[in-house]
Amino acid sequence: MAKNYPTIGEYNQLIQKKGGNAFRSLYDISLIPSRTTPIKVYLFGSGAFAAVFKGSLNGVNYAIRCFLTAEDETINRYKTICDYLNEIRASWKTECEFIQNEISINGISYPILKMEWLNGLLINQFVTNHLSENNILTELQQKLVAVSEDLENHKIGHGDLQCGNIIITGTASNFQVKLIDYDGMYVPALAYKKSIEKGRSEFQHPKRTMNNFSPEMDRFSFWVIITAIESLKIDKTLWREVMQGGFNTLDNFLFTIQDFLNPSQSDLFNRLYKLNSSSLNFYLETLKWLCNSEVSVIPPPTLYGNSSKSSKTILSEKQEYVPKNQSFDSIVSDNKYRIITTNGTAAVLTATLQRLGSTPLELDKQIYEGKLLFISNGKETKRIILNSQQNLIEIKFD
């Protein structure tokens, strides 16, 4: 059931009049105005669900979110999410506290959400500032994948990864990735619930629904961002705004929902393939395959060169397939991939389902590096993404 909440004006008027005394337990907080002329205003911003004020308590700055509208279910989720986050240690999270009955207007008490105020840059602003520094862009990719792993290790899904919810703090030589806006977050106590939002379409799988609510729901978003960053390491002009011939809408990371709906006809995909980069092709082939697949099969984001341990890629250890007294190099040349299968032969197909032949099959590395392939024996189909660290690949069928 929805509760009637105060307006932005009512919150702002009370805080202007009483300052910290507007709050029940945070009365010691020093409210910081967003501007002082021509009159003092404390409101820092507002969205569809909350008005945001800024305050300092014991030398730490906080964002105070006062609700404008919310279902009882949403309020209960906030409390559940904050309670869980306060039990874990993670570099990406910000301090979060849900406080019931904290501010009173017209004799009625309302909850607030207190979160650490982050001083940093939105991720797209950070990329703009360091567009020419590929080493920093690579480090950003690495840290994003680490955040993805940590979220899933803690059984958490954010639900709305986008430019406005990823903050980069610190300096270029020592920065951290922080996530904010936990409205649609999944935590274990919310299992069997549905999502309350689907996130911005520029970062979400086109088939995502409210039922896709789990620790794995951010995987596609991470793949989109690290793919875009890889593109920018090769072609800086992609980051120009759309009116200047680029693909930057200021709210996206190059891609839009139209690219995900039809990657084969996408101007962006086609332009990126023309860059002819093995590392970029690895990401493109993966992202293209994901767009045409179900949300449930999306693997964890993986950096190029580290894909050999992907849960969707079945690879061999070299020593297992080297006959006695023979060297590996004498079996498979360095410029070839050799694909073999257990329990009979299988068809090898490209991402567009073009048949390349049957196993055992050798393919030219120069042509197929970074490519997504399907291996099918008629009953099962496996997928592999080829990278330069592989030579001999064994696909195991049941």
Q: In this structure, are 197 and 238 located in the same domain?
A: yes
Do residues 154 and 148 lie in contact, with contact meaning Cβ atoms separated by under 8 Å? no
Q: In this structure, are 127 and 97 located in the same domain?
A: no
Retrieve residue 144's tokens: 């994003």
Rounded to the nearest integer, the mean pLDDT of the chain is 88
Tell me the pLDDT band of 315, cut-offs 50, 70 and 90. Answer: very low
Q: State the pLDDT at residue 25.
A: 95
Does residue 39 belong to any structural domain of this protein?
A: yes
Among candidates 260, 321, 335, which has minimal Cα distance to 290? 260
Tell me the pLDDT band of 55, cut-offs 50, 70 and 90. Answer: very high
Domain count, the chain: 3
Q: State the pLDDT at residue 323.
A: 33
Which residue bears the tokens 């709210």?
Answer: 251
Task: Specify the pTM.
Answer: 0.78
Domain range enclosing 354: 318-395
Do residues 1 and 70 lie in contact, with contact meaning Cβ atoms separated by under 8 Å? no
Q: Are strands 50-57 and 43-46 parallel, antiparallel or unpaired?
A: antiparallel
Whichever domain contains 154, its CATH number is 1.10.510.10
What's the CA gap between 198 and 193, in Å, rounded? Answer: 14
Does residue 272 belong to any structural domain of this protein?
A: yes
Residues linked to residue 150 through DSSP beta bridges, in sequence order: none
Which residue bears the tokens 């106590």?
Answer: 189
Buried b vs exposed e over 209-241: b needs ≥16 C-beta within 10 Å?
eeebbbbbbbbbbbbbbbbbbbbbbeeeebbee
| pLDDT surpassing 50 at residue 1 | yes
* DSSP at 34: S
Q: State the pLDDT at residue 335.
A: 86
Tell me the pLDDT band of 342, cut-offs 50, 70 and 90. Answer: confident
What's the CA gap between 91 and 153, in Å, rounded? Answer: 13
Q: In this structure, are 212 and 251 located in the same domain?
A: yes
| pLDDT surpassing 80 at residue 309 | no
What's the CA gap between 5 and 108, in Å, rounded? Answer: 9
Of the listed ranges 22-31, 101-110, 151-160, 369-378, the least confidently predicted one is: 369-378
